[in-house]
């Protein structure tokens, strides 16, 4: 019973921590287990920043979508802990925790979001990361960076140059992670026609490669990825062009890939991939209300490897 597994972290009422259902009593934690940080949907969510302000957001439905998302993560056998932060009514966008931090190895950058109204979101996430044993480093002005502009693909880190992320933010990330044992290779990629880099591309892991929106902006990013791989003498990656831009944002946790299921044409692509990669699990997630807020699957969580 998840309610019986609930406990408060040492920082008091900052978060609720749940043991995920995939971890059975007495089982050892696999070295690739992960913790996940999520944040509740505030009543003020209907006032969040978004491109299409004419679309009304149904708060009840958005919360239902978020609860389903959280339940699916709790059921993932690669997730041992879910940290659920309370909403902040002063921060309508706070459920989109991805933008507040970037985790690589044993370090996390606490970002300085590009939208000034979102800068109050970062501290509870920083506290939660430190409680999980992750070292944090705070970004300072004039740097700005949203986590949604950072795609980590193994040792490769692609950072989107968008309205939310600037050159100073990219430089801060590069310098911060330069000392990491993983020695990442970082590339700054222009973003056009989308809010964030991961609005157009996400990484599905070494077996699957990249999922790219089949748009003009997505095609430019695909070319940038190919140039990066060529420049570093890496094998040319698989690139899957996704017909619906929102569906290009997938979330990979362990051997499970979560994808947006409300788009029939893109859904066929993922079902075909599932048939060819039977060691992986493909899970469809329907979140149209969250999509109205320019949100997608990666936006709603921060995944922290337990061996970080």
Q: Which residues are identified as catalytic? A: 196, 299
φ, ψ at 183 (rounded to 5°): 45, 70
Residue 152: CB partners within 8 Å, gap ≥ 6? 102, 104, 184, 203
Nearest to residue 250, comparing CAs of 274, 232, 234?
A: 274
Surface-to-core class of residue 169, CB atoms within 10 Å of its CB (0-12 exposed, 13-18 middle, 19+ buried)? buried
Q: How is 55-101 classified by DSSP, letter by letter?
A: SPP-HHHHHHHHHHHHHHHHT-TTEEEEEEEPP-TT-TTTT-GGGGE
């Amino acid at each position: 019973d998840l309610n019986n597994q609930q406990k408060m972290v040492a920082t008091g009422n900052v978060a609720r921590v749940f043991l995920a259902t995939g971890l059975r009593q007495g089982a050892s934690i696999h070295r690739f287990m992960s913790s996940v940080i999520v944040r509740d949907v505030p009543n003020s969510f209907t006032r969040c920043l978004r491109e299409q302000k004419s679309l009304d957001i149904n708060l009840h439905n958005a919360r239902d979508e978020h609860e389903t998302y959280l339940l699916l993560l709790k059921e993932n056998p690669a997730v041992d802990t879910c940290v659920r932060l309370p909403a902040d009514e002063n921060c309508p966008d706070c459920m989109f925790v991805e933008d507040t931090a970037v985790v690589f190895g044993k370090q996390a950058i606490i970002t300085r979001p590009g939208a000034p109204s979102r800068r109050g979101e970062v501290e509870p996430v920083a506290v939660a990361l430190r409680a999980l044993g992750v070292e944090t480093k705070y970004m300072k002005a004039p740097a700005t960076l949203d986590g949604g502009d950072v795609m980590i693909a193994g040792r490769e880190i692609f950072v989107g140059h968008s309205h939310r992320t600037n050159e100073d933010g990219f430089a801060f990330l590069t310098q911060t992670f330069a000392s990491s044992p993983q020695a990442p290779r970082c590339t700054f990629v222009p973003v056009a026609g989308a809010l964030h880099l991961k609005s157009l591309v996400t990484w599905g892991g070494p077996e699957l490669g990249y999922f790219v929106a089949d748009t003009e902006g997505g095609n430019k990013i695909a070319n940038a990825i190919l140039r990066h791989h060529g420049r570093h003498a890496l094998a040319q990656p698989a690139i899957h062009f996704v017909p619906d831009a929102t569906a290009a944002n997938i979330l990979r946790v362990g051997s499970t890939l979560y994808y947006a299921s409300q788009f029939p044409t893109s859904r066929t692509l993922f079902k075909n991939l599932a048939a060819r990669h039977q060691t992986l699990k493909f899970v469809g997630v329907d979140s149209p209300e969250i999509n109205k807020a320019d949100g997608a699957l990666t936006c709603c969580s921060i995944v922290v490897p337990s061996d970080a």
